[in-house]
Structure 1
């Protein structure tokens, strides 16, 4: 069962990525991606796997140790669980970038490759998005307005 869950995890998230990248202005994309629940399908894979190894998972996350993490990830259940975790949170980060880019006026031609990068290497994708957002004139103007609207501390 673990192998099948591992295999299906990415495919549970792929339709949401496709909507954000290929059909960003379609009204259904906005409605679907507007919900934070899009991360639920890969999270359900995680929640299916976690109870079976919860004691070991808890040990790994509550007392971080490189060797314990390495051992956990070397098991099929541990690797599949971490994969589902990554897919769910990558999708959540991609969702945030998509919504933020639309709000800030970041051109989709700049966003689409960043979303693809985020699917593959999410920390680098997030950094790339923050850089794109920082240099996009419309996004910078919105950022400046938001800072002006904040009360002085």
Structure 2
């Protein structure tokens, strides 16, 4: 497995998970288990494989900004970091969908938060938490 091959496989896999999360109301029995559990688990396996293959002995580290920059100058460690983002952001998106369903937040209101989570991770999480707070307190959407 090369970093390029892993990139070519994991990107479309993650994107399919996001599409499934966005489409959850259309096929709830399939979309959420697949997009919110199975695909994040596959990405987590890819992360574990990537970390085992490319982090040991890689130059750099996590103890300073300079070392992080050195670590991510190599394709393998950079791919490892990328799969980390893919897996965790998708897990956060899946949590948003589940949490919104449990709290009665309309799915269409969550979709923009999912997009922000896909593109900007923590900004999407913050936007969902703000939406959830407003919805559950009936401040704006009553």
Q: Same fold (TM over 0.5)?
A: yes
**Cα distance in 2 between the residues matched to 1:72 and 1:2:** 14
Pairing 1:2-13 to 2, within 5 Å after superposition: 2-13=3-14
Structure 2 gap segments, 5+ residues each: none
**Which residue does the alignment assign to 2:34?**
32
Larger relative contact order, structure 1 or 2 (CA cutoff 8 Å, min sep 6): 1
Taking structure 2 as the reference length, what is the TM-score of the superposition?
A: 0.83
**Secondary structure at the residue paired with 2:25?**
coil
Size of the aligned set, in residue pairs, is: 136
Cα distance change of structure 1 residues 73 and 109 upon mapping to structure 2, 3 Å threshold = same
Q: Deviations 1:7-57 (Å, cap 9, x if unpaired)?
A: 22121122221111124352322443564x431222222222212333346
1:78 aligns with 2:77: yes
| CA distance, structure 2, for counterparts of residue 41 and residue 87 of structure 1 | 11
Equivalent positions of 1:11-22 (< 5 A) are 11-22=12-23
Distance 2:54 2:115 in 1: 32
Which has the larger share of helix?
Answer: 1
**CA RMSD of the aligned region, Å?**
2.2
Closer/same/farther in 2, CA of residues 52 and 133 from structure 1, 3 Å limit: same
Is 1:90–2:89 an aligned residue pair? yes
User: Does the 8 A contact of 2:55 with 2:76 survive in 1?
Assistant: no
Structure 1 gaps, min length 5: 142-153
> What CA distance in whole angstroms lies between the structure 2 residues aligned with 1:2 and 1:53?
9
Given the superposition, is the C-alpha separation of residues 103 and 73 from structure 1 closer, same or farther in structure 2, using an over 3 Å criterion? same
1:55 is paired with a residue whose SS is: coil
Conserved 8 A contact 1:42-1:87 = yes
